[in-house]
Structure 1
Amino acid sequence: MSAWGFLFLGGLLEIAGITCLKLSNGFKRPVPTVLMFIEMGLSLYLLSHVFGVIPVGTAYAVWTGIGAAGIAIVGMLYFKESKDWPRLVCIGLIILGVVGLKLAG
């Protein structure tokens, strides 16, 4: 798998980890809490391995962009968060920025 693939997978694990953080109810539920630590640890591990290929600023921006846009979408779909148009436009801009960094990198 390429560095970009590892970075994308790390972003997906960040989404999963933050979802489990929400489900942990303030670390009161053990299964989502443990899953969150595993997923976030793996996400950071993957992020750390792309720095030799992708510049750190680009890698971190893409990783956080995937996580931010992804968890916002998860929040709208599963946690009944707002789906108003300004929010959707901003999520679209994050995704556009991630794609732009990939194309520029």
Structure 2
Amino acid sequence: MAWVILIIAGLLEVLGVNGIQRYIQGHKVSGILFVVFGFAVSLTLLSIAMESIPLGVAYAVWTGMGTVGSAILGMIFYNDSKDRKRILFLAIIVIAVIGLRVVSS
């Protein structure tokens, strides 16, 4: 169950980062709501997951999900670069996160 909680925490981190972008683009109220809700709930869930998952693994998975999720969100909604090299390195992060999960069973 801790891994499910950690995955949800990672997804909510992406919501918080999206809120920052929304705020910058002029969507002040929704941006602040996304930031506060996304990061508050994400950090709370991360702390719950860390009761069962080692700190280094939990934090690496959480930040990896946030990094990849935010980059994908940027490519889809904010016209960020879709360069093949960028996608390759994002795939490497995903592989590393999966690898951490496999060796941390």
TM-score range, shorter chain: over 0.9
After superposition, residues 1-105 of structure 1 pair within 5 angstroms as 2-25=1-24, 29-105=28-104
The structural deviation recorded for 1:39 is 1.0
Runs of at least 5 residues in structure 2 that lack an aligned partner in the other structure = none
Deviations 1:41-91 (A, max 9, x none): 000000001112100000000000000001000100110100011100100
Runs of at least 5 residues in structure 1 that lack an aligned partner in the other structure = none
The structural deviation recorded for 1:38 is 1.1
- Please tell me whether the aligned partners of residues 21 and 27 of structure 1 are also in contact (alpha carbons under 8 angstroms): no
Deviation above 4 Å: which 4+ runs of structure 1?
Answer: none
The structural deviation recorded for 1:34 is 2.1
Count the aligned residue pairs.
104
Matched-pair identity in %: 36
RMSD: 1.4
- Please tell me whether the aligned partners of residues 27 and 33 of structure 1 are also in contact (alpha carbons under 8 angstroms): no
Take 1:26 and 1:76, find their aligned partners in 2: how far apart are those partners?
A: 16
Take 2:36 and 2:17, find their aligned partners in 1: how far apart are those partners?
A: 10
**Structure number with higher helix proportion:** 2
- Please tell me whether the aligned partners of residues 47 and 59 of structure 1 are also in contact (alpha carbons under 8 angstroms): yes
Take 1:12 and 1:96, find their aligned partners in 2: how far apart are those partners?
A: 17
